[in-house]
Structure 1
Amino acid sequence: MADSNTNNTPLPLPAPPPPQEQVPPLNVDGETKMKFDALGPLVVNSDGTLSRIANWPNMTEIERERTLRVLTARNKIRIADQEAKLNEESTSQA
């Protein structure tokens, strides 16, 4: 199978999404208001890596609110777990 990019030149980036005039703030935990772009909020995975919700642009407002409520609680737990793991590692190395 022949490679169409045989001269090893990098492929161009796709066009950026059109700018949004105003991104509405979302109430995350009853106190903090955050603004998210079209990609949606960050998800803290159990191994500490970050990802995004793939279908965020297709969700309704109600789905987004429910997802944020669950995601906020889960992210807080996972961040605390990662901090505890780091503290444990630093204590055991000392």
Structure 2
Amino acid sequence: MRKYELIYILRPDLDQEGVQSLVEKFQTVIANGGEVEKVDVWGKRRLAYEIEKHREGYYVLINFSAPAETVSELDRVLKITDEVIRYMIVRDVA
């Protein structure tokens, strides 16, 4: 299993319970084949530029280890989740 970093931005109109349920949803997808090492919810921050008419968003960073199949499934789930504005999965080489 390789180490990865996932950072995603959620829509700013979500309440705290909505943000928490999405964080748990993505952790569950990772835990099905991998291992979540660290979850860091940064909270609502201003975006550098407007995305889909949003000027703010909830930032979440997850460090995890998983096989390639789990990363592919996570990518698929992130793409179809409407509350996700942007996301990026990066392999950690350190």
Question: How high is the TM-score relative to the length of structure 1?
Answer: 0.32
Determine which structure has greater relative contact order: mean sequence separation of CA pairs < 8 Å that are 6+ residues apart, divided by chain length: 2
* Structure index of larger Rg: 1
Higher strand share goes to which structure? 2
